[in-house]
Amino acid sequence: MVGPPVGANAATSERHIVKLDLLPGGTTSRATGVNDRGFVVGYADTADNKSHAIRWSPHGHATDLGTLPGGTRSYAYGINRRGDIVGYSDAADGHERAVRWASDGTITDLGGLPGHPNGYAYGINDEGTVVGQVSIQSRIYHAVKWAPDGTATDLGIDAPRGSTNAVAVNDHGAVAGYSFQVGPGHYIDAATWPAGATTVTLLPLLPDGGARSNAAGINDKGLIVGEAQSKPGNPGRSPLHAVVWSPGASAPTDLGIIPGADDHSTAYDINAADTVAGSSATSTPGARQAVLWKRGKDGWSIVPLPQLPDGNYSEATAISDRGAVVGSASVGTDPSIAVRWE
């Protein structure tokens, strides 16, 4: 069954927004993951304008995680309870490799599939299973799952649109991601791989919506969040709404937008309490505001999170099971910086 719609009114957040440290000489940063111990990961630019993966302490202090030997840039996207971090780094040959940083900062190249070493890692669970994608050939990518011992499994053999990407994995081994076709047509389908499965399953679309959808996060109950085209039409021009897919449901639940806002929202993550982190358009053209969607007995309610002073753009990209929320925010035309809502 389709879940109840989001409530008509927005709730009020009691959180406040805190900036996380930049790297010396840097001006931009983005937080992409947070664990239950309060450690945050993401990436930031260096003084010489290179992006480096970052780990922020619970107090917001930044540690540069560096790159593979000979590399110049890296990005971190996921962190588990133990403090293991995943993302990608370029190598001495200039190509990107999926990597894992141990809690002590040691970096390891996860490798790819046979004959295909280049890839990206986006999610990790508490057991140490990692998911991401590997480049197979020009314009073709396969979703991959790396076991804790480093063994890689190809999840993209039967990709409906030619390519797949796995972006999140829960502690039962179920994976969320999408199937896509590289090119200008915006062809992308939200997808999942049940625990132990190597064949992709496409997720249903919104009733009366369009053909585009994308999955970004999954919790241990198997609820998946992302976005879906809310109206029929050109996938590249039609509005997208944050949605949640419940196991076995015939359609996702539309989480909606801030009341009175422009017609766009997206969801990035969901925690054990079924609280969803994402962003919504506002009544100001081009603006975005970080939001949470909370599930109650009467359905889902939307909770806008504070912007930076005089700011009009923010996104909540990750939420821990303990409720820590991180993302990015900006003021006017200033670059976005990593933030935490406390």
* Residue 124 · residue 116 · CB < 8 Å: no
The pair of structure tokens assigned to 211 is 């053909």
pLDDT score of 230:
97
Q: Could you please report the per-residue DSSP string of 181-201?
A: -SSTT--EEEEEE-TT--S-E
pLDDT score of 13:
81
CATH code for the domain defined by 6-18+67-305: 2.130.10.150
pLDDT score of 11:
72
CA distance 318 to 312: 19
* Residue 303 · residue 282 · CB < 8 Å: no
The pair of structure tokens assigned to 226 is 């992302």
pLDDT score of 262:
94
Domains of the chain, by residue range, sit at: 6-18+67-305
Which segments within 68-106 are labelled E, that is strand?
74-79, 85-90, 96-101
Residue partners of 227: CB distance under 8 A and separation at least 6: 213, 214, 216, 240, 241, 242, 243, 265, 266, 267
Burial class of 67 by CB neighbour count within 10 A (0 to 12, 13 to 18, 19+): buried
pLDDT in tens, 228-260: 999 999 988 899 999 999 999 999 999 999 999
pLDDT score of 9:
54
* Residue 291 · residue 316 · CB < 8 Å: yes
pLDDT, tens digit only, all 342 positions of the chain: 233 344 445 676 889 999 999 999 999 999 999 999 999 999 999 999 999 999 999 999 999 999 999 999 999 999 999 999 999 999 999 999 999 999 999 999 999 999 999 999 999 999 999 999 999 999 999 999 999 999 999 999 988 899 999 999 999 999 999 999 988 777 899 999 999 999 999 999 999 999 999 999 999 999 999 999 999 999 888 999 999 999 999 999 999 999 999 999 999 999 999 999 999 999 999 999 999 999 999 999 999 999 999 999 999 999 999 999 999 999 988 999 999 999
pTM of the model: 0.95
